[in-house]
Amino acid sequence: MSEQQFADTDVLAVLGVECYAHHGVFDFEKREGQTFVVDLHLGVDTSAAAASDDLQDTVDYGTLVAAVKAAVERDPVDLIETVAQRIADVCLTSDRVEWARVTIHKPDAPIQATFSDVALTITRRRGRRG
């Protein structure tokens, strides 16, 4: 997706959504679980909401965050790529969301080195992946 496509859309950001889930390749990750943190950037035309001052004319980010958190915390999988796609799919269920850029952070990833974060960012547009 080009920067021009992003420039043509308003962006709603919700950052730092903490979730506790049991994703990972290793058995201990699935058994013990760990914290995942989600950042959302959503392409939303906010002009109707600005004109009406009505929640029905925009994305209810409280409801969206609850759905994203539920999606992260259900059904353990091996890869954060799978979780990121699951989150993007949830975001794109709203007709008001034109595209979703999702970052999932796995700050406690089992890496044998000092590091501050592991993060994957994906961007998905309504009707197609990638």
Active-site residue, from 23, 41, 105, 106? 106
DSSP code per residue over 44-74: E--HHHHHH--GGGS--HHHHHHHHHHHHHS
User: Around Cβ 33, how many Cβ atoms within 10 Å?
Assistant: 17
- Judge whether 30 counts as a catalytic residue: no
Q: Which of 5, 87, 17, 82 is nearest to 43 (CA)?
A: 5
Q: Which residues contact 32 (CB under 8 A, 6 or more apart)?
A: 22
CB 103 within 8 A of CB 121: yes
Active site residues: 106
